[in-house]
Structures are given as C-alpha cells and as structure tokens.
Structure 1
Amino acid sequence: MHTTVGIIGGGPSGLLLARLLRRAGIDSVVLERRDRAYVEQRQRAGILEQATVDVLRAAGAGERLDREGMPHDGIELRFGGRGHRVDFPELTGGRRVWVYAQTEVVKDLIALHLDDGAPLLFEAEVHAIEGVDTDRPVIRYTHEGREQTLTCDYVVGCDGFHGVARNAVPESAKRTYERTYPYSWLGILADAPPVFEELIYAHSERGFALASMRSESVSRLYLQVPNGTDPADWSDERIWDELDARLALDANPAWRLKRGTVTAKSVLPMRSHVTEPMRYGRLFLAGDAAHIVPPTGAKGLNLAAADVIVLARAFAHLKDTGSAELLEEYSATCLRRVWRAEHFSYFMTTTLHTDPEQSPFETQLQLSQLDRIATSRHAAAELAENYTGLPFDAAL
C-alpha cells in the first residue's frame, strides 16, 4: 500500500491532520496501535483554545462541540484565603476557551474519518520506520496478524513520547530539553456537579488543587501529591477532605464542593520536554512525540493541534505550488509556539504548586506574583492571552 502521508498514531493530532489533509485533497493512512474503544476512552486534556475550536469547526468537527461543549470566559485564582477571577474576553479582546474532553474530540474525528471511508487502521502495531532520509520512506507494521508495509512520500509521528517515531530519529540528529517536577497530580472523575461554572486554580500551604469539569454533572478534580504516590493510598473521603481544605471555599457560601461517586482515579507525573528539531528527513514529529508540557497551563492538546495545522498548510502548499518551503520551515515555525507554551506552563506550574523543598521566601514570591495578577491589568492580560492561546498567525 502507498500513500502520500503515513500518519502514526490515531489520537487527536493524527486524526485532525488526516482530516485537514483530506479536505486539501491529499491522501493519507492512519495507523493506530490500540483498538477503537481504547482510543475513544483515553482520558487526557479537556480545555480547547479558541484557535483549536476554530480549526475543528472548519474541519467539519464542530457540530457536537458547539452543542455540548462549555465555553468559559475566565478562571478563578485562589490564594492567601481569597479569590480573584481572570476575565478572558475583557482582557484579550473577546477570546475564550471551551471545556470539551479529548475523548469527545477523538470520537467526532473518528466518526468523520470513517464516514468518509478514509484509511484508518486500529490495532496496527508499527515496529519500524525505514528510509526517512530517502524520497520513499517505509512503515512496517502488524495488522490482523500479518506483517505489512506502507510506503509513503512523508511520515508524521503523532504517536506520543514513547512511540516509534520519536525513537526513529538518531540521537546524533536531535537535542532534548527536559525538566521533571518534584510533584505529581492525583486526578479523579466524579459523578458530581462542578463547584463553579469555571475552573478554580488554588495555591495553598497544603499544595495545589484544581476544580474542573467534564460536563454539568461530572467533575474533574486534581490534587498535588508527592511523586510515586499510589492512588490506592488515597480513599475517596481523604480526597474530598483534602480538596475542601485546599480550595478553601467557605468564604463564598454560593460555592460548595459537591461530593459524589468517584469513577476514576489516577496519578499524573509532571514534566516538561522538547525534542529539536521536529523533523528528520521526511519524518515529522507532532504533539507529544515532539514536546510535553505540564497540564497546569492547558496547552498539551492545543499545541498538538497547532503542529498539525502548520503541517497541513505546508503539505497543501506543496501540492498547490510544488514548493517544499513551508515543510522546510515546519520545525522552526512550530518551535516558536512550543517554547512560548512551555514557558507559560512552567510559570503556571511553579507559581501555583508548593515545592517540598521551597523556603518561606519562595512561598512569598509566589503569593506576590499571584497578587500582581489580581491587581494589575497588564499581568492579568498576560495570563489571559497565554491561557486562551495567542492569535494563531501572530504566534507562528
């Protein structure tokens, strides 16, 4: 089998790229190692930037998002026993974000893909990528018990940090930058209405907490915990009590943490990672295959979407003009946005979390920065602009 673009990974970035390529008249094949049920249930991000929503709509994947997604016009910062709301539209000229889980984005894109009859192979285990430094790369994979090959003009790795694509780039041809944080998130899904109509980010002496949601009846909540924490060591009651203590909502009688049945519980390590460049020969890396951000800034899925938007434009430019100029610029173009998002995610993480080794001096610096956001329009606007996503063309 031959295709113009072989896409490894059927998550949101791989599926969105395939959709954008199809609309541009460019053929592709998506190879996903997991089955469809697993991919559609894989819990990840839940916040979409304005630019991500705009491209999903343009790709024909916005109908259910517009019907069921929850637009948010701000976030609540809680620190030092008080709260402050950051108003996104007022500070950014009208931009906002949407709560719409990655699981739902993936379901929408898979349905569109299959309706079009475009090649999407689940349970296709890629075990080698060959010839990326030639004009005819080859992907070797196993599907339905048979070893098969896919020849391509180009290969795009959307298969994550541990995937085949990133590891296909020789160590001598890449640079890596990484930071591991001294804490993790204990996350739960609960059948309980959200505390508030927007997200609450809380800094406290006991550690960070985040109150989010997946719908009007399902809450997504997080607690900062030590690295290596076993979720089984945290009973449901202990989690709810700790959320109560860290969110400190007693001062506002309209807000109460609504307890319900915990349906999922997991621990998420926190780290930042960038691989440069994001291209080797005819192999392109996108999403987590090229970069990882801590989830505090809600950038992961949005960065992946930005990568494939740039890549789809470059492939369309090649098809229309015969020029590979935009493909040559892909890595440099994306990395400008990647490093901005890395910085913002680092800022949000280190400002809101309590490092086990930090001094009282460092805690006061955190509180001073949060107070600056609460009292300065310029500081609040900087947070709002980065959180909602810098205007796409300006940031690229």
Structure 2
Amino acid sequence: MPAPAGRAGSDRPSLADLAVPIIGAPMAGGPSTPELVHAVERAGGAGFLASGYGSADALLEQVRRVRELGARRFGVNLFVPDALPADLDAARAYRDELAPLAAELGIDELGTPRQDDSGFDAKVAALLADPVPVVSFTFGLPAPGTFRRFRDVGTAVWATVTSTDDAVTAVEAGADVLVVQGPEAGGHRSTFAVADTPGDVPLGELLRAVRRAVELPLIAAGGLTTGQDVARALEVADAAQVGTALLDADEAGTSPGHRAALRDPALTTTAVTRAFTGRPARSLVNELVRRYDAVAPPAYPALNHVTWPIRQAGGAAGDTRFIPLWTGQGWREAPSGPAQRIVADLWAAAETAARGGGAASSGRMQR
C-alpha cells in the first residue's frame, strides 16, 4: 500500500512492509493501552488505540504516551455515530426491565438514556491537527470529505466492514484498507447502522467474497487466536487483526474479572447480544445476557448509559455476572504473557501451519 505524502506518511504501517502481518485490534473500554500498542510493534506488527469511549483530550494523551514509548507504526480507531438518533423510548423501557436487577444489586439509580456521539467531531479535529499514521472507523463511514482530509495530512484511512455491500460502499467513499470483520469477532460488530442485524457468513467465506468484489488490501478480523487461525486468514487477507488473543496479555488493560472469566470453566459459550449497549456485540454468556438479551432493543448508545451503573458496580466488585465479557469465539485458546511474545508465537505458528498445509497464492503466507 503506497504511502501518501504528508506528515504522518513515513510512519504509516504499510501492510506489505510489516515484518509480521499482525495488527493489534482496537479494544475499547480498557484493554487497548499504549503499552500494548508498543509491544505489538516490537514484535513486528502494528497496534491500535481504541477511542470509542472517553474524550478527545484523553485520546491525545494516549497518543502522546504511545510516541513517548517509541512506537511509530500505530493507529487510532473511532466509533462513527449512527446517522439516526437513538430510540430513547425503547431505552427507557429497557431501563424499567433492568430495575429489579438494580434493586437486587443495591444500585440506587440506573443511567439516563441519552444521545451521545462520544465527542466524535472533536476527536477527528484532534487527529487532523496532530496526525497519526492510521485512523480506522467502526460502525460506519464518516461524513463525505473526511477520508480526504485525513489523507491530506498523511494519515491512511481504514474502514471496518461486515458485508460485501459495506465493503463496496467503503471503497467508493475512498478507504485505503478494509478491515473485514467476521461473526466470530469479540466485542461490537461493525454494522453500519444500530438496527442492522449482523451477518453470520464465516470470516473465511466473507473474506473471499470481499476479495472478489474489491481490490483494496484486506485485514482479516474475527476470533483469530491461534497460529492456524492466522494462517487460514492470510490465505486470502493481507494481514490478520487479533484482539481476543491479546486480552490476557501483560500489557493489556483488561480488568482482573474479565481475565478470570476467560479461564472460568463455568462460562462455556459466547453470544452476540445487545444487552449491554444496544449494539450487537459478542460476549461470554453470563447472567445479564441470559436474563435480558431477548428484551434489549437496538438503542445505542442510550443503552450503554443505562447499564453503566450495573457494569461499574460489577467491575468494582469483581462480579462478572453482569458486566460485558467481550471475547471472540476462540477465547479458549487465548494465550497469556507478554504481548510481544504472544504476537511472535502467533506468527511462528502461522508460518509452521502454512508450510504444513500450503497457502493460497493471493495471501501473505507465500512470503
């Protein structure tokens, strides 16, 4: 992927030139840290900061810390606000559904449903004023002209897609790279509208369909936790994005309760649910998912505010029954330890798997 001219261009991770074609996924809510970003780069890949929550000032402080650590190949992910306002009436009804649980947990008051874009415009302005190598977008595409403005300051623009139609739309909008997210992914699915039902086409099949439809570089994302997973993805894609594989890394900001849940034998499955935020997201199935998934409406980010007191109380108490436990389908294979070693081991295992089983000529495993 050629680098455009601009202040950030020389630092931008070019997929073809990465020593290790592994991207550390942006994981909002704590797991993604500057230290994790730096560790992925030290392994030869590129890491991402997650700015879905928090202020523009907090984001810039994280960018400053990444640079202070010495990282040069990194990106920032932004959540694109939905084009339609959140259904506040539906969110209020869900709040009423949760009232007995709040009383059960000793929570005086649930959050108030409200519209919120998490300071999206301020974050865009901040990253245009202080460019980073890559900005990626989740939940849709920004306003027309935004991609061009980023490229004008030397920043590459990546779009996260979950369907061939969205991939074509992103190409027409001017994306440089597509992050193709399969249904196996942990955390939020990147549907372009809150009310959209995410597709269930497996990642490998989705990658091949998108490859046939567009000519941009592709990054495979979705529950890739082993070297074999990475090798299979790279038979089609140009790089693999891993998130679940880094949840228990030393440098990750994953909460102790979330880490423990990854190893808890009582938690046996994952599901895509709207119960925590109003957007479909894959979590380990805990008590809140079992009790409230069926009645949770598509009302992001209003539901995110409603459930915040429950999630805050659960996190503080180390009680994982009622907090989101975002993770991909391959969570049982998620390693632990230093992130640099995790990425290096993933790549070594991927190369071994490719040598043993062969790889398609269109992918990166031929290198």
Q: TM-score, normalised by structure 1?
A: 0.28
- From the CA coordinates, give the structure whose radius of gyration is larger: 1
Q: Which has the higher strand share?
A: 1
Q: TM-score, normalised by structure 2?
A: 0.30
